[in-house]
C-alpha cells in the first residue's frame, strides 16, 4: 500500500527533482485561486471552514490524549480573538512520543516516505482555501497573498524539500562490492550504507508566514526520517494545524504512528519553545522569527539549526530608462503586506548625483516624493490599496513605525479603511528621507511599512552601505537599478561577498519580495539573516548521517 | 594555460567523480611503494631529501618575507630534533595575505581550480617518498604506513575532495531563463548563480597523520574558492610543508598569488592557532586533534567547523567460525602504529557466555590470553614487529599507557628494539582484562597501544555499551564478530543510531583501522568524535554559498 503511494506520485516527484536542477519556472501547485482550477465552491467552503472553526476545539489533530485545550489567536482583520483551541501537551510528553516513533519512521524507505509526504500535500491542496482564510485571520495577509504564500507556494517549497531530500537519500548506492587487488589475491568486502536520521526535529513557526516558512523544514526533516514537532507561533496556529492534520491523516491511513508529526501549540503567556529546543532529545531545529531568539536557537550546543531571522534589505538606485516604472515597482514592494515580509526592501540608496535617467538626474529628494505620490495613489485606490496592504499582524508593528522619528517624513503612515473588515488593524507605508549621518537608524530591521530613502555621497558609497549592512546585520534580498554593466558587476561582486541575492531592474509585475521555489535559493547562509537555505542540498543533507557497514564476502 | 590543466586532468577527475558515486574500490594513486611504479631511485631520493633537510631552512615555500625561521620537530626514531626551520609569520600578516588573494581565487572557474589542484597532486605524487620519510620522522609511523597514509591515501582523499567539490559547484546551472506564465502575458527573468566561497579557511593539522587528515580540508576549501592557511602541528610540519610547496609551485606557474595557500608553522611554546582561529576573518576551520581543543574550535561563533577529535572504538565479539583468525586480525589492529590511530580499537567486549565457536565458547579471559599470545608473537617477530609498531610520536603516550593501572594486566607493554633506529621510542600494546564495574576507565579514549578485553553480562550489554560509549564519548569505527544475522542486525541498528560505521567479521589482511577513500565515509558527524565527513557532500557544500542574480529579459 505504501509503495502504492510512491508509484502514484513518482512522476510528479521526478518532475520536481528535474525542476530543482533546471531552476527554470516550475509551479507544482497552481497559484491562481480560480474556480476552474480548484472547484466552484472551494472558496466558499474555505470561508465556511473558517467561520465554523471560530470558538471551537480544533478536532482534526487526532491527539486524543490532550492535557489541555489552548489557543491565543486573534484576527488582525476582525480585531478579536478567534477563540479556537488546540490540544496542548507538555514538552516531555511530546518528546517521548516523537522518540517512540523514530524507530518506525526511519525504517521506512525513501520511496515510502516520499509517497506518504507527497500524498499529504495532495491533501493540503484540497485545504488551500481553508488555509488561506486561516492565514488571513492570523497574519493579516491580504486574501491573494494568504492563498498563494500559505497554499501553493508553501506546498511548492515543501515539495522542493521532499525532492531535494529524496535525491540526496538516493545519491549513493545502498550497497556495493569493494574489491581491492592485492597482487596475488584480492580483498573483497561487501559494503552497505544507511542514511541515519539525526533524531527528533523541532520546527518553530512565525506569526507572519506560518506555513511558507515552516513547511520546508517540516518536510525536509520528515523525508530524511526524522519525527517532527511543529511549534507554531501562538498567534498563528490554525494554518499549520491544517497541514499537520493532513499529514496525520495519511500516516493514519498507512497504519503509522501519528507521533511522527505532532503539533505543539502554546500560549504567549506560557511558552514551551525553550523547553523543547533545549532538550537533548532534539537534534534539529528550524526557526523563523526575530533575531534575538534566533541567536539563542543557533547558540544551542550540539544541534543542527536552520534559521530565518531578519534582514536589512537594501535597494541601490543608480540609473534607469524609465524612472516611473521603478517608482511603481518599489511602491508596490514596500506596500505589499505592509512591509511585513522578510524580503521587503527597507533602505533605498540614492547618491547625491541622483538617479541617471534619459530625462536627467532624479535626486534622492525628488525620488522620495515620487515614491510618496505613488504609494499614496496605490493605498488610496479602494480597489487595490486595502488588499495589497492587508492588516498588521502585531500591534507592536504599528507602534514601531509610528514611533520612528528620524529623517524627514515625506509620507506619513495612515490607517486605510478596509471595505470588508471595518475593524481591521491597518497601516500604510511611511516614507522617510535621510542622509548617511543617521546610519544607526537604518542599520537595523524596522519590521513593518517603512521605507527610507537615503542620500549617499556616490554610487560607491551606496553599494558599500548595502554590503556592510548585509554583512553586519543580515540581508535576505537586495534590489538594484542600473543600466551600466560595470556598476551592475560591482553590485554583484559586493553583494555576493556578503551572500545576498540581487534582483536587477525589476519593473512590472515581479517584485524583489518574491523568491520562487525550484529556482531562487532563499536565505542560503553566510550573513546574519540566517541559514535556512531553502532548498539547496545543505538543507536536507544536514538532517541525516551516512553510516556504513562492511563485511568480507562469504 | 589554466584551462589546459583542466583538459589535462579532465578524464582523471571524471573517474574520481564516478568512483565517489559507485563507492567500489578506486585508488587514484598506487599505494605500493615499488620501484616499477615510482621509479628505480625514488626511495633513495626520498631518503636523501630527508637527510639533506636536517638542520636546514626549508626553502621551498616561496614565503620570502619571513618574519622568523622556526621549527620544533623531533624524530621519534632518532629521538632528536630535526632542526629544520620554516618561514614564520604573524597571524595578522597571514590573514591579510589570505584575504588579499580571495578575490582572485574565487573568480577562477571550478574547471580552472580543479585543473590547478589536480596538477598539484601530480606534483605531490612525485614527492611521495620525501613525504614518507618526513612522516616517519615526525609521527613515528612505520615506513609502509608513512608512505601509504601520507602519500597515496592522503592524495586519494584530496582528489576525492576535489571531485566532490567540483561536482557540487557544477550541480546547478550557471544561468537559466525563468518564464512565468501570467495568463495573457508572461514574466521573463534571466537568472544566474555564483557559488560564493565562505572566505578564509584554516586547516589545523595533527601530529600523527599530518597529511591524511589535513589534505581533505585543504583541497575541499581550495576547490570551492577559499584561500587556505595550513597550521600544521608544531611536531609534524615537514610533510604538509611539502604538500603546500607543491600547490604553490603550480600557483606560481599559473601566475597566481601564492597567498592562496599559505603555511603557518608555529612552536609548542609560541602557538598561533587560537589567534588565527578566533579572527573574524576566518570563516572555515578544519581541525584534527584532541577533544578539548576540538570542543573549543567547534564552539567558535559564526564559523563553519569540521573536526576529527577522538573516539572510543569498540569491538563486539559474539561468535566466530575461526577464533584464531579473529585474534590475528585484532592483534594486528591494536599493534598497527602502536594504537596511535583514531580508528584503532580500544574496548573489546566479550559476554560471560564467551564467544561462540564451533570448538566451544571462548571466555573473555581465554580470549585475552589468546590476544596476548598473538600480539607477543607479532611484536617479537623481528621482521614484522618493529615495522608494524613504528615509534611513539609523543612521550605523553608512553606515560599514559605505562601509568594505566586498572584491570588485570594480561600483557605488559614493552619497548621493542628497532633494528634500524636504535634510539627509537617504541611501545608494544598492553592487554588488560576487566569487567564492567570499571566502566569509567574504558569510557575515555586512552590514545596509544592499549586494548581492554571487557567481560559483560551478555551480548545485549556488549552492544549497549558500545553504543553508549559512541553516543557519549564518540566513536569513529566499530568492529563486530558474529555469525548470527539477528545479532548483526541488532548491532547495525544500535551503532547506526549513534552514527558509527561497523566492520563485521574482518579477518585476513583488512583491518577496521582502515577507511578507504571513494568508499568509506569517515567521521560523518552525529557523535562526539567529530564531523569531518570525508567526503560526503556536506564536506564541500558548507564551504560556499549559492548567490543568485536575476533581471528581466531586455
Q: How many whole angstroms separate alpha carbon B23 and alpha carbon B470?
A: 25
Minimum Cα–Cα distance from A179: chain B residue: B25
Predicted local confidence at residue A64, as pLDDT: 79
Give B518→chain A minimum CA distance, Å. Answer: 10
For the CA atoms of A291, A293, A298, A300, the dihedral, rounded to the nearest 10 degrees, stands at: 160
- Cell numbers given for B24: 567500489
Predicted local confidence at residue A3, as pLDDT: 78
Backbone φ and ψ for A192, nearest 5 degrees, come out as -145, 160
- Which helix (H) or strand (E) covers residue B504, if one does? strand B502-504
Whether A504 has its CB under 8 Å from any CB of chain B: the answer is yes
Q: How many whole angstroms separate alpha carbon B124 and alpha carbon B48?
A: 17
- DSSP lists the bridge partners of residue A175 as A192
Q: In what order do the strands lie in the sheet containing B304-308?
A: B261-263, B228-231, B200-204, B282-288, B304-308
Predicted local confidence at residue B1, as pLDDT: 54
Q: How many whole angstroms separate alpha carbon A142 and alpha carbon A136?
A: 6
CA angle A213, A214, A218 (to 5 degrees): 140
For residue B348, give the nearest of B365, B373, B360 by alpha carbon.
B365
Is A510–B548 a contact, with Cβ atoms under 8 angstroms apart?
no
Whether B36 has its CB under 8 Å from any CB of chain A: the answer is no
Whether A509 has its CB under 8 Å from any CB of chain B: the answer is yes
Of B179, B524, B551, the CB nearest to A25: B179
Whether A520 has its CB under 8 Å from any CB of chain B: the answer is yes
Confidence of residue A310 (pLDDT cuts 50, 70, 90): confident
- Residue spans of chain B under pLDDT 50: none
For A376-416, what is each residue's pLDDT tens digit? 999 999 999 999 999 999 999 999 999 999 999 999 999 99
Phi-psi label, residue A109: left if phi above 0, alpha if psi -120 to 50, beta otherwise: beta
Q: Is the pLDDT of residue A1 over 70?
A: no
Whether A178 has its CB under 8 Å from any CB of chain B: the answer is yes
Predicted local confidence at residue B266, as pLDDT: 97
- Which helix (H) or strand (E) covers residue A480, if one does? strand A478-481
Report DSSP letters for A513-531, one per residue: T---TTT--BS-SSBTTB-
For A247-284, what is each residue's pLDDT tens digit? 999 999 999 999 999 999 999 999 999 999 999 999 99
For residue A548, give the nearest of B66, B339, B520 by alpha carbon.
B520
For A44-100, what is each residue's pLDDT tens digit? 999 999 999 999 999 999 777 899 999 999 999 999 999 999 999 999 999 999 999
What percentage of residues in chain A have a pLDDT greater than 70? 100
Whether B164 has its CB under 8 Å from any CB of chain A: the answer is no
What's the average model confidence in pLDDT over A505-519? Answer: 95
Q: Are A491 and A502 in contact (CB under 8 A)?
A: yes
What's the average model confidence in pLDDT over A192-211? Answer: 98
pTM of the complete model: 0.97
> Best mutation site among B510, B523, B539, B544 for testing chain A: the one with the most A CBs within 10 Å?
B510
Helix or strand or coil: residue B86?
strand
Is B173–A525 a contact, with Cβ atoms under 8 angstroms apart?
no
Predicted local confidence at residue A63, as pLDDT: 74
Helix or strand or coil: residue B240?
helix
Q: Is the pLDDT of residue A506 over 80?
A: yes
Whether B376 has its CB under 8 Å from any CB of chain A: the answer is no
Is A551–B521 a contact, with Cβ atoms under 8 angstroms apart?
no
HEC string of B328-370 equals HHHHHHHHHHHHCCCCCCCEEEEECCCEECCCCCECHHHHHHH
Helix or strand or coil: residue B29?
coil
| Helices within B109-169 (DSSP H only) | 110-126, 128-139, 143-148, 154-169
Is A552–B191 a contact, with Cβ atoms under 8 angstroms apart?
no
Whether B174 has its CB under 8 Å from any CB of chain A: the answer is no
Give me chain A's average pLDDT, please.
Answer: 96
Q: Are B312 and B270 in contact (CB under 8 A)?
A: no
Helix or strand or coil: residue A139?
helix
What's the average model confidence in pLDDT over A419-441? Answer: 97
- Cell numbers given for A508: 512590472
Predicted local confidence at residue B65, as pLDDT: 87
For residue A433, give the nearest of A449, A456, A464, A458 by alpha carbon.
A456
Whether B177 has its CB under 8 Å from any CB of chain A: the answer is yes
> Best mutation site among B160, B189, B304 for testing chain A: the one with the most A CBs within 10 Å?
B189
Give B495→chain A minimum CA distance, Å. Answer: 9
Of B179, B521, B545, the CB nearest to A525: B545
Of B23, B501, B550, the CB nearest to A173: B23
Backbone φ and ψ for A432, nearest 5 degrees, come out as -125, 145
HEC string of A248-287 equals HHHHHHCCCCHHHEEECCCECCECCHHHHHHCCCEEEEEE
Contacts (Cβ under 8 Å, ≥6 apart) of B472: B443, B528
Minimum Cα–Cα distance from B481: chain A residue: A551
Report DSSP letters for B245-294, one per residue: HHHHHHHHHTT--GGGEEE---BTTB--HHHHHH-TTEEEEEEES-HHHH
- Cell numbers given for B198: 565562505
Q: Is the pLDDT of residue A2 over 80?
A: no
Helix or strand or coil: residue A238?
helix
Amino acid at each position: 500500500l505504501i509503495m502504492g503511494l510512491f508509484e502514484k506520485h513518482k512522476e510528479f516527484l521526478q518532475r520536481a527533482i528535474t525542476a530543482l536542477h533546471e531552476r527554470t519556472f516550475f509551479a507544482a501547485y497552481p497559484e491562481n485561486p480560480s474556480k476552474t482550477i480548484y472547484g466552484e465552491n472551494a472558496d466558499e467552503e474555505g470561508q465556511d471552514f473558517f467561520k465554523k472553526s471560530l470558538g471551537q476545539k480544533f478536532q482534526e489533530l487526532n491527539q486524543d490524549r490532550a492535557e489541555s485545550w489552548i489557543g491565543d489567536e486573534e484576527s488582525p482583520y476582525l480585531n478579536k480573538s478567534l477563540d479556537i483551541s488546540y490540544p496542548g501537551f507538555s514538552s516531555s510528553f511530546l518528546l517521548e512520543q516523537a522518540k517512540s516513533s523514530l524507530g518506525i519512521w526511519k525504517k521506512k524507505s525513501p520511496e515510502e516516505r516520499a509517497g506518504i509526504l507527497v500524498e499529504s500535500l495532495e491533501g493540503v491542496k484540497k485545504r488551500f482555501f481553508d488555509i488561506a482564510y486561516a492565514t488571513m485571520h492570523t497574519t493579516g495577509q491580504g486574501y491573494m497573498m494568504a492563498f498563494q504564500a500559505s497554499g501553493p507556494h508553501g506546498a511548492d517549497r515543501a515539495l522542493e524539500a521532499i525532492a531535494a531530500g529524496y535525491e540526496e537519500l538516493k545519491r549513493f548506492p545502498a550497497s556495493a562490492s569493494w574489491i581491492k587487488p592485492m597482487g596475488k589475491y584480492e580483498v573483497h568486502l561487501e559494503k552497505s550504507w544507511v542514511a541515519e536520521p539525526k533524531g527528533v526535529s523541532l520546527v518553530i513557526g512565525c506569526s507572519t508566514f506560518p506555513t511558507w516558512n515552516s513547511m520546508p523544514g517540516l518536510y525536509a526533516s520528515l523525508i530524511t526520517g526524522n519525527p517532527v514537532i511543529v511549534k507554531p507561533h501562538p498567534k498563528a496556529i490554525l494554518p499549520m494545524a491544517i497541514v499537520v492534520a493532513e499529514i496525520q491523516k495519511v500516516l493514519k491511513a498507512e497504519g503509522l504512528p501519528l507521533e511522527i508529526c505532532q503539533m505543539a501549540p502554546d500560549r504567549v503567556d506560557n511558552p514551551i519553545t525553550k523547553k523543547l529546543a533545549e532538550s537533548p532529545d532534539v537534534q534539529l531545529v528550524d526557526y523563523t522569527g526575530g533575531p534575538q531568539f534566533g541567536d539563542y536557537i543557533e547558540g544551542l550546543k550540539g544541534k543542527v539549526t536552520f534559521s530565518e531571522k531578519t534582514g536589512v534589505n537594501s535597494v541601490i538606485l543608480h540609473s534607469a530608462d524609465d524612472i516611473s516604472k521603478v517608482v511603481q515597482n518599489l511602491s508596490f514592494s514596500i506596500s505589499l503586506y505592509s512591509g511585513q515580509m522578510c524580503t521587503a526592501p527597507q533602505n533605498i540608496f540614492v547618491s547625491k548625483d541622483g538617479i541617471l535617467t534619459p530625462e536627467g538626474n532624479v535626486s534622492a529628494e525628488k525620488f522620495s516624493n515620487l515614491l510618496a505620490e505613488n504609494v499614496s495613489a496605490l493605498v488610496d485606490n479602494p480597489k487595490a490599496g486595502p488588499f495589497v496592504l492587508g492588516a498588521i499582524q502585531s500591534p507592536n508593528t504599528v507602534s514601531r513605525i509610528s514611533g520612528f522619528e528620524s529623517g524627514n517624513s515625506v509620507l506619513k503612515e495612515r490607517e486605510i479603511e478596509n471595505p470588508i473588515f471595518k475593524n481591521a488593524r491597518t497601516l500604510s507605508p511611511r516614507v522617510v528621507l535621510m542622509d548617511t549621518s543617521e546610519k544607526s537608524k537604518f542599520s537595523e530591521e524596522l519590521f513593518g511599512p517603512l521605507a527610507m530613502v537615503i542620500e549617499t555621497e556616490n554610487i560607491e558609497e551606496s553599494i558599500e552601505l548595502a554590503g556592510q549592512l548585509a554583512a553586519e546585520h543580515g540581508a535576505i534580498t537586495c534590489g538594484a537599478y542600473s543600466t551600466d554593466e560595470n556598476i551592475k558587476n560591482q553590485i554583484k561582486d559586493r553583494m555576493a561577498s556578503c551572500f545576498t541575492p540581487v534582483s536587477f531592474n525589476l519593473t512590472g509585475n515581479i517584485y524583489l519580495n518574491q523568491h520562487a521555489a525550484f529556482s531562487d535559493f532563499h536565505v542560503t547562509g553566510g550573513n546574519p539573516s540566517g541559514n535556512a537555505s531553502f532548498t539547496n542540498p545543505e538543507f536536507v543533507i544536514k538532517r541525516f548521517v551516512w553510516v556504513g557497514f562492511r563485511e568480507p564476502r562469504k
